[in-house]
Chains A and B, each alone.
Chain A
């Protein structure tokens, strides 16, 4: 089994129990408007804490911000 995931198209280490919320915290992704996709499917914000990430998963955390 691969012990990595893909985060925003870059290889990223995976660990057992990794969730969307934990991954965001690890990366200090604290911006208020982030779209999360897990293997191409949207994960709603209410589900981030419980959304488990498996080894090999593709995660996108898209910050929607365009500057002034």
Chain B
């Protein structure tokens, strides 16, 4: 294979010393193609390779650190500069930006190995952000860079190799290497590791064949699992970043860094960092088995919990539980599949160790049928997306789907939600077996879900339609199958997408706060901005609109902070110290917030408060809102959810929880349901819920300093120090149109 490689560029860079979490420079790689590299801002160093390739560096400035902190903030800042308002995902100027954040790479505190990936999404054509574990982000930083940008469009398949010890970056053609991640990673670990022990110093970013054809491509970030002796994969899943990666003809970015140790960030106050780490490790050791059992089964621990609380999406979010959930419960995976007693952290020092795996899993379908492979999972989202939401309660198909999504480079969440949509259309008779080319898309047909994935990988069949995502499927189905106006409206109601992105896997029907938490997401409905279901629906801690709006301010902002710093949220929220119960605000886990304040000061040398953390995030969050406005979204109408996210839209859904909904009609709406048909009751209930939804949206917008059309006001931009000319230029026409442009600034 290597004999066929042609080196297009080799760049040598100066060694860097990280100070307080930053290298203060970024690595820019242009892979070729026709676009204006000058739009990026000045490169401090530059090498022009052959076939239009460019490798260079940029400064990470004090301005960037003050306004954007790192991680997703840096990503969005660079992406803004790289693209125009009319840039679409497949344009060469689209920029895949990867940044680990200033706290990433510490080994003293759990969950500190995250990278954030941004680009213009293949699904939404808006900026998408996705967080991912694995070793690449910390290695990138230790190699000398706070950010990696990948821009352009290569003429041929390429691999990029960063040698973090020799301080070189190489771009070379790679025509013969595999594309599917589990094979490609094995090939590249063999190539770049100089000894078997050296494999732990390698990390690969890759995708897979399906990302070449479907718009839901994701990126795998690898790490070497020396105890299992195999490559493990963590996913930057959402929004089609893998599709953009493969469209650029990048097969892989490989990175080698030898010499990891806990102090490479050169922390300002190591004892503060160590003390917080010791507290947290002790807390996990003493309490995890009594709480969420993350060390034993990872995020899959909540499959049963979600079912029990009617929150597990079943049959395209029609229902929240199913009698067969026991067949895919956490216990089943623990007892029959997941390899136990192996430390499963995806970065050094993470004692929460949620990255579970199934070793020796025998595949039944596809090109690797008969092989025994290591499956990275199950994660909760995989089990819900590839299991209950498509009506499949067979753990084998969930794990096989998990494996193929990973190696083919598919986002399991979108894969599940859009397949559930396609299945509901099929079950409703919008199309038939002949239309699907023989794919029987009835609920629960796990083998058909796998076949859709194989078709996406091969670029053929009905999988190519499903792989375009729900928003495009609605249009294609309407045209191709000559659907009636009522059927088209129905698809709008049960197609679980917003802004073009498929919903993640939590039933939100009974939580108004979560309905808004999803639909107000800047990138589209992903739960990493807000997960408020228990606070709202079960605990009833945020009963008023103002309470909900406050939660929809604090939690999205605080959660954003993790993506700026390179941290995983799970050690914050999926374990709690015993004395948390005495806290006035137990949902925030104040003891952990204090830990984060300490480790931030420990590395960066600055003391924060909860309020100043929120302010840091607010700058980036508001920037992203203006960014999506610039790219054609970000107004009130774009925050409209599908009707099903607000409540029951079919008689079946209503009658399945009739007592609940009838009680709500009596107690909340003031209507006696007696004598009314199910259809009449649905209409009354849904009208009530829509009115409440928009009332909450108004309240949230006001809390965030936005106009009723969802536009950040000028005074808000000033208050948070983000009245940058390029942002003001974007919001001004909208504010003027709405009458919110202040008189003082009129020309």
Task: List A residues at the B interface (Cβ < 8 Å).
Answer: 8-10, 28-33, 35, 42, 60-68
B539 and A8 contacting across the interface, CB-CB below 8 Å: yes
User: How near does chain B come to A52, taking the closest CB pair, in angstroms?
Assistant: 20
Nearest 3 A/B pairs, CB to CB: A67-B531, A66-B573, A63-B534
A65 and B581 contacting across the interface, CB-CB below 8 Å: no
**Chain A hits for B572, CB < 8 A:** 66
CA distance A64 to B572 in the complex (A): 12
Q: A8-B538, A32-B293, A68-B570 are in contact. List 9 more A-B contacts (CB 8 A).
A: A28-B308, A30-B308, A64-B580, A64-B587, A65-B531, A65-B534, A68-B299, A68-B381, A68-B574
User: How near does chain A come to B235, taking the closest CB pair, in angstroms?
Assistant: 13
B533 and A62 contacting across the interface, CB-CB below 8 Å: no
A31 and B527 contacting across the interface, CB-CB below 8 Å: no
User: How near does chain B come to A7, taking the closest CB pair, in angstroms?
Assistant: 9
Q: Does B290 contact A (CB under 8 A)?
A: yes
**Chain B hits for A60, CB < 8 A:** 539
**Chain B hits for A62, CB < 8 A:** 539, 541, 586-587
Looking across the interface, which residue of chain A has its beta carbon closest to that of B576? Answer: A64
Looking across the interface, which residue of chain A has its beta carbon closest to that of B530? Answer: A67
Looking across the interface, which residue of chain A has its beta carbon closest to that of B292? Answer: A32
**Chain A hits for B299, CB < 8 A:** 68
Looking across the interface, which residue of chain A has its beta carbon closest to that of B582? Answer: A42
**Chain B hits for A30, CB < 8 A:** 304-305, 308
| 29 A–B pairs (Cβ distance < 8 Å), ordered by A | A8-B539, A8-B540, A9-B540, A9-B543, A10-B540, A28-B308, A28-B309, A31-B308, A31-B534, A32-B292, A32-B305, A35-B581, A35-B586, A61-B538, A63-B534, A63-B539, A64-B587, A65-B574, A66-B555, A66-B587, A66-B589, A67-B506, A67-B527, A68-B299, A68-B380, A68-B381, A68-B527, A68-B528, A68-B574
A65 and B308 contacting across the interface, CB-CB below 8 Å: no
Q: Does B88 contact A (CB under 8 A)?
A: no
**Contacts A28-B308, A62-B586 given; does A67 touch B573 at CB 8 Å:** yes
Q: Does B609 contact A (CB under 8 A)?
A: no
**Chain A hits for B292, CB < 8 A:** 32-33, 65
CA distance A30 to B569 in the complex (A): 23
Name the residue among A8, A28, A42, A65 with the largest chain B CB count within 10 angstroms. A65
**Chain A hits for B582, CB < 8 A:** 42
B581 and A42 contacting across the interface, CB-CB below 8 Å: yes
Looking across the interface, which residue of chain A has its beta carbon closest to that of B287? Answer: A33
CA distance A30 to B302 in the complex (A): 11
CA distance A64 to B586 in the complex (A): 7
User: How near does chain B come to A16, taking the closest CB pair, in angstroms?
Assistant: 24
Q: Does B291 contact A (CB under 8 A)?
A: yes
Looking across the interface, which residue of chain A has its beta carbon closest to that of B506? Answer: A67
A61 and B531 contacting across the interface, CB-CB below 8 Å: no
Contact with A along B546-567 (1 / 0, CB 8 A): 0000000001000000000000
**Contacts A9-B540, A33-B292 given; does A67 touch B305 at CB 8 Å:** no
